[in-house]
Amino acid sequence: MNDVQRILAVATALGAVGMWLLLPRGTGRGRAAGAVLALAGLGAWASQLPGVGDWLADSLFACLAGVAILSATATVTFRSPVYCAIWFGMMLVGVAGLFLTAGAGFLAMATLVVYAGAILVTFLFVLMLCQPEGHTSYDRRSWEAMLSAATGSMMVGILSMAIVGAAKAAGATAVVAEPPPAVATDHVARLGAELFTRHLVAVEAAGVLLFAALVGAAVITAQGRRGRG
């Protein structure tokens, strides 16, 4: 095991312990220490990754990656399901930005449309119609917190070692020497033209139905709260 692998192994261990302390376990003790350990592991892990281009590209990538990682961490560590859904949406924005910097405009658009526009809205429907306050026991604590934190951190560590090892073996100082433009081809423009010309009525009808369902869920939730009050 070389120096880079040792640092990544230490970063993985710090991340595992930090995530275990951050996961909701019924009490708030140890969450501050978990945040410090997780940030230390993230810094050690980021210090060993190769660059993606010049300083501007590296700065943009670091900001978007930081938004995605921190939002994903908040998604699984907050006790309130509503806040978890909001952080999940922020994580999708960071991932979409990373796709744009890699020239994958279609993947960025699909991530926002499919996940933020459909799955996240469906998740919010379920929250509003159930218990968004998070008063149930399974919302206040994580089951198998140590196992989940260790497994997730180990997967990230193994993937990081493989990627960094491959880059070092190839003698590359950057993953992408010249980042491609945000939209390298016109496939997104073609998809947009197809959706909003031939399928305009279907797209608008789907949007109206989703909006009506959102309003209906909010009304049902408000009536349920007044009934309990």
For the chain, the structural domain boundaries read: 3-195
C-alpha dihedral (208, 213, 214, 216), degrees to nearest 10: 120
What class, spelled out in words, does domain 3-195 have in CATH?
mainly alpha
Specify the pTM. 0.69
Taking Cα atoms as reference points, which of 125, 87, 89 lies closest to residue 211? Answer: 125
**pLDDT digits over 92-147, tens only?**
999 999 888 887 777 888 888 888 777 777 777 777 666 555 556 665 666 677 88
Residues 6+ apart with CB under 8 A from 13: 41, 153
**pLDDT digits over 35-82, tens only?**
888 889 888 888 877 766 677 888 888 899 889 999 999 888 887 777
